[in-house]
Amino acid sequence: MVKKKKYISAILTTFLVILAGLVVFILWPPIMLFARLLDRSEKAPNTISRWGLSFLSFVSGVRLTVEGRENLDKKQQYLILANHKSAIDIPVLARILPFHFKFFASNRFFYIPFFGWGMALAGYIPVNRASRVKSYKAVQKGINILSRDQASLLIFPEGTRIEEHHIKRFKHGFLWIATKSRKPLLPVVLEGTLEIKKKKERLFYPGRVRVSILPPVPTTDLTKDKWPQLRQKLEKQFQEEYARLLTLRSD
């Protein structure tokens, strides 16, 4: 009976997500274009983009428990580090973080009508992973956004989506970005998004997502010789915090 109720809830939630997604993605490009024409500072477009993503998180049935909001400075630009379990991770982060951020996404998404146009107008960064040169240019664009205080930048240090209940070894790319931009790292640990939407699962299952925002890590004195130690420290921090959040499950 419980499984049946859960399944019915997932069907209804998925219907709402599809409906909301269609509305958001069709309206997103013209609204973003209009906002960018009116506001060259990008404050309005950034706010609209964050609202849209937050709304998708809400209709996906995400119930949030957030720890560590006191570690946030709304006026600071961060290199945000988060573990990656689900497609719902970015909407969840947009909902809890009180500032706009850019993120890298596969260039194929930018060719999708309406959705891709909205992403381009929002300033998200396309990455062609098949080309090393183009990937480098995309990363450099992210560094420029951070260095010029245009927005924060989100990166998943594991490098890809990990649909398992553990944290994998971090890639070194985020360390290079941090060294070049000198912006503080903001570690954010998410638990529960995997149960809401898996990659091969068509349905969205409403549920609890626990988020822990850890204290920022300064990078003003970060040099390449310090990379191994910092990477190891952050990996351990994420592993321990994710394991702790798992123990808090009650639903």
Give the model's pLDDT for residue 1: 65
Give the model's pLDDT for residue 171: 92
What's the CA dihedral at 8, 10, 15, 16 to 10 degrees? 120
CA distances from 149 to 114, 183, 188 (A): 28, 9, 20
At 120 the three-state DSSP class reads helix
Q: What is the pTM of this model?
A: 0.94
Give the model's pLDDT for residue 249: 83
Rounded distance between C-alpha atoms, residue 39 and residue 43, angstroms: 7
Average pLDDT per run of 10 along the chain, which is 251 residues long? 82 94 91 86 84 94 96 95 96 95 93 91 90 89 91 94 93 94 97 93 94 97 95 97 91 54
Continuous H helices in 76-131: 89-96, 115-122
Give the model's pLDDT for residue 40: 76
Give the model's pLDDT for residue 250: 67
**Per-domain residue ranges of the chain:** 2-247
The matching CATH number, chosen from 3.40.50, 3.40.1130, 2.60.40, 3.90.320, for 2-247 is 3.40.1130
Give the model's pLDDT for residue 3: 78
Rounded distance between C-alpha atoms, residue 235 and residue 231, angstroms: 6
